[in-house]
Amino acid sequence: MSPNQPVSPDPPDLAAHPPQLLFVTGKLAEPSLRRLLADLGPRAHFRPCVAVLPISVVSLATTDWIARHLPPQLDIEKAILPGLCAGPLAAVEEVLRVPVVRGPADLRDLPEFFGLAGKAAAGLDDEPHDIAIYAEINHAPRLTLTAILQQAQNFRDASADVIDLGCDPGTTWDAVGPTVRALRDAGLRVSIDSFNPVEVEQAVRAGAELVLSVNSSNLDAARDWGCEVVLLPDEPATLGGLDISVEKLTGWGVPFRIDPILEPIGFGFAASLGRFLEVRRRYPQAELFMGVGNLTELTDVDSAGVNVMLLGFCQEVGVRGVLTTEVINWCRSSVRELALARKLVHRACTQRVLPKRLAPDLVMLRDPKPRAHGDQTLRELAANIRDRNFRLFAERGLLHMMNGSAYRQGVDPFALFRQFHEQQAIDPAHAFYLGYELAKAVTALTLGKEYVQDQALSWGLLTVPEESHRAIMKDDAGQARDEPGDVNR
């Protein structure tokens, strides 16, 4: 069985003789693990057996070390190691002579590992989608070709489907043709955002596949471009001129999609959403297009939630193309957000499920459900620590700091550090580490996020993993000991 493969509950006909599974743990996690298994075993149809090894945190040990310290002659059918244990499983399998798998990194995820109690969504990696993302490079004529190519590559890496070149009104960009050709040579699809027929003609000749945009002012030129266009109403508030333009483009055989124009909040936002519904009513089969950046770029709010809401609207109404940009700082990840949001709303609409607990990477400011150890677990942990290494926790509005000398809790990280520093010497490197971790813990408390010592806070799709600063050391007797340690590993 491959590492980290979930263990499915045994079939009901095995309930009378459930298998015995071995869970390997360290001294600190033992009480929490036993409490969890007492509830989980009957529900997942197994009999738990716990092996407590002579180490505080067993996930910091290698599989070779674990194999040397396992008790002999265990009557089990399978063994489960903490997910962070490093090394080949064969070393443990050779000793136990049963299959061995890696479980979750945190024992609190064991119910999910067995397919129970908060089963995780299968994920959206393989979810299809039918909304194309057009990522606009603003003021493209002011940029060098190198800068345009780099920005376009970044958009493609973020899952944009088409690179939109935003031109400057009132001027003609002489380099538009070579620029489009360079993007096409790089394997990119391109659209051109201009009302200037000269710019558009050069762009289309070089390979642009969509023109943003046309209305009665440049409609006649669209007859000769030989590509699809985005059609705008002459008078957005009333959709004035739209029907006539639709009739002309249809008669000429020019493919088009309609953009009723999304307006910012305070400037007709609600009415503009109504126009999308009205256009869909008038033209049930027409392709529609929405510039979502009109809202995200012009609203003082992080863009992820707005993008999800707008794509939910688009999915329901049948808007199959959206235009965004990443100019203002709070929109700097809009393309990545849209790429995940389109899968989320597709799943919700096609499978008739709530868009909840399907795409946690779009929950960035706060965690979906921070978990807490509780007073009893923390007290037990503090009572069993014998070394000087610090364990840090952040839950229920308090910072918790403990080692073999003391257990303190409070809201002020400076006060906690000072209390311990008065009791024992803390070297500069350890002080730096504690300061960094306490800052993360305070951030977690402030935002309602889950804090796990020596791990990055979760920022959804913006998370940057941290390299672990834990280490396994050997004492004079050759026994592994850990630093700093975690109750759930």
- 364 occurs within a structural domain: no
Tell me what pLDDT residue 369 has: 83
Q: State whether 198 and 339 are in the same domain.
A: yes
Q: Cis omega before residue 468 (within 30°)?
A: no
Q: For residue 420, how many C-alpha atoms fall within 13 Å in the half-sphere facing its CB?
A: 27
Q: What is the pTM of this model?
A: 0.78
Spatial distance between the Cα atoms of 58 and 486, rounded to a whole number of angstroms: 10
CATH number of the domain at 73, please.
Answer: 3.40.50
Spatial distance between the Cα atoms of 247 and 42, rounded to a whole number of angstroms: 68
Tell me what pLDDT residue 187 has: 97
Q: How far is CA 98 from the centre of its chain?
A: 36
Q: State whether 192 and 67 are in the same domain.
A: no
CATH number of the domain at 353, please.
Answer: 3.20.20.20
Q: State whether 79 and 138 are in the same domain.
A: no
- 323 occurs within a structural domain: yes
- 367 occurs within a structural domain: no
Range of the domain at 259: 132-358
- 203 occurs within a structural domain: yes
Choose one of 358, 390, 406: the last residue of a domain. Answer: 358
Q: Which amino acid is at 392?
A: L
- 49 occurs within a structural domain: yes
CA distances from 5 to 1, 2, 66, 115, 361 (A): 7, 6, 20, 11, 22
- 238 occurs within a structural domain: yes
Choose one of 326, 358, 390: the last residue of a domain. Answer: 358
Spatial distance between the Cα atoms of 57 and 29, rounded to a whole number of angstroms: 7
Q: State whether 287 and 146 are in the same domain.
A: yes
Tell me what pLDDT residue 281 has: 97
Q: State whether 350 and 254 are in the same domain.
A: yes
Q: State whether 150 and 248 are in the same domain.
A: yes
Q: State whether 388 and 466 are in the same domain.
A: yes
Mapping DSSP onto H, E and C, the string for the chain reads CCCCCCCCCCCHHHCCCCCEEEEEECCCCHHHHHHHHHHHHHHHCCEEEEEECCCCCHHHCEHHHHHHHCCCCCCCCEEEECCCCECCCHHHHHHHCCCEEECCCCHHHHHHHCCCCCCCCCCCCCCCCCCEEEEEECCHHHCCHHHHHHHHHHHHHCCCCEEEEECCCCCCCCCHHHHHHHHHHCCCCEEEECCCHHHHHHHHHHCCCEEEEECCCCCHHHHHCCCEEEECCCECCCCECHHHHHHHHHHHCCCEEECCCCCCCCCCHHHHHHHHHHHHHHCCCCEEEEECHHHHCCCCCCHHHHHHHHHHHHHHHCEEEEEECCCCHHHCCHHHHHHHHHHHHHHHHHHCCCCCCCCHHHCCCCCCCCCCCCHHHHHHHHHHCCCCCCEEEEECCEEEEECCCCEEEECCHHHHHHHHHHHCCCCHHHHHHHHHHHHHHHHHHHHCCCCCCCCCCCCHHHCCCCCCCCEEEECCCCCEEEECCCCCC
- 341 occurs within a structural domain: yes
Spatial distance between the Cα atoms of 179 and 174, rounded to a whole number of angstroms: 10
- 6 occurs within a structural domain: no
- Residues with Cβ within 8 Å of 250's Cβ and at least 6 positions away in sequence, in order, are none
Q: State whether 347 and 420 are in the same domain.
A: no
Q: State whether 152 and 198 are in the same domain.
A: yes
The tally of domains found in the chain comes to: 3
Q: State whether 68 and 193 are in the same domain.
A: no
Q: State whether 241 and 274 are in the same domain.
A: yes
- Residues with Cβ within 8 Å of 87's Cβ and at least 6 positions away in sequence, in order, are 62, 63, 64
Tell me what pLDDT residue 107 has: 85
The neighbour count for residue 419, using CB atoms within 10 Å, is 14
Q: State whether 141 and 245 are in the same domain.
A: yes
Going residue by residue through the chain, which has 489 residues, state the pLDDT in tens, using 9 for 90 and above. Answer: 444 454 544 444 445 679 999 999 988 888 889 989 998 999 999 999 999 998 888 877 889 999 999 987 788 999 999 988 888 999 999 999 999 999 988 888 898 888 884 434 457 888 999 999 999 999 999 999 999 999 999 999 999 999 999 999 999 999 999 999 999 999 999 999 999 999 999 999 999 999 999 999 999 999 999 999 999 999 999 999 999 999 999 999 999 999 999 999 999 999 999 999 999 999 999 999 999 999 999 999 999 999 999 999 999 999 999 999 999 999 999 999 999 999 999 999 998 888 988 888 999 999 988 888 889 889 888 888 888 889 999 999 999 999 989 999 999 999 999 999 998 889 999 899 999 999 999 999 999 999 999 889 999 999 998 876 654 333 333 343 344 445 555
Spatial distance between the Cα atoms of 359 and 133, rounded to a whole number of angstroms: 18
Measured between its terminal Cα atoms, the distance across the chain in Å is: 22
Tell me what pLDDT residue 58 has: 85
Contact criterion met (CB below 8 Å) for 342 and 160: no
Spatial distance between the Cα atoms of 374 and 397, rounded to a whole number of angstroms: 12
Choose one of 331, 358, 385: the last residue of a domain. Answer: 358
Mapping DSSP onto H, E and C, the string for 121-183 reads CCCCCCCCCCCEEEEEECCHHHCCHHHHHHHHHHHHHCCCCEEEEECCCCCCCCCHHHHHHHH
Contact criterion met (CB below 8 Å) for 210 and 229: yes
Tell me what pLDDT residue 469 has: 64
